[in-house]
Amino acid sequence: MEPDQALQVIVTSENWNEETFIARMSADGRITIPKLTLKLLQSNAESLSGTVLEVTLQPVRFSQVSEEAEKKVVGSEEATAMLNKIKEIRKDLAKKGNSAS
């Protein structure tokens, strides 16, 4: 592995929660796990203190990165559509609440 190489990091906790992210190793060989990933791994537990994490490192291929980016774009479009629908429902509820008063 080269120090500037992008790596796909797969972290699995004891309760089988699994999260994947892209990272680079620092000069001293460390990888920082993002806070959001830690929160997702934590799930219902109070903290991850003392938890054993299984970490798998793989080199990232450019085709793999573009596929992941495409999935995120599609996912963000779906999320935006869902949020817009929620806003419409809230407006309808507010109108019904005002007309009932």
Q: Which residue has the higher pLDDT, 64 or 50?
A: 50
Q: How far is CA 37 from CA 62, 79, 85, in A?
A: 22, 19, 28
Q: Which residue has the higher pLDDT, 39 or 16?
A: 39
Residue 52 is predicted with a pLDDT of: 83
Distance, in Å, from the CA atom of 4 to the CA atom of 52, rounded to the nearest integer, reads: 27
Distance, in Å, from the CA atom of 24 to the CA atom of 3, rounded to the nearest integer, reads: 7
Question: Residue type at 86?
Answer: I
Residue 62 is predicted with a pLDDT of: 62
Q: What is the mean pLDDT of residues 10-37?
A: 84
Distance, in Å, from the CA atom of 75 to the CA atom of 85, rounded to the nearest integer, reads: 15
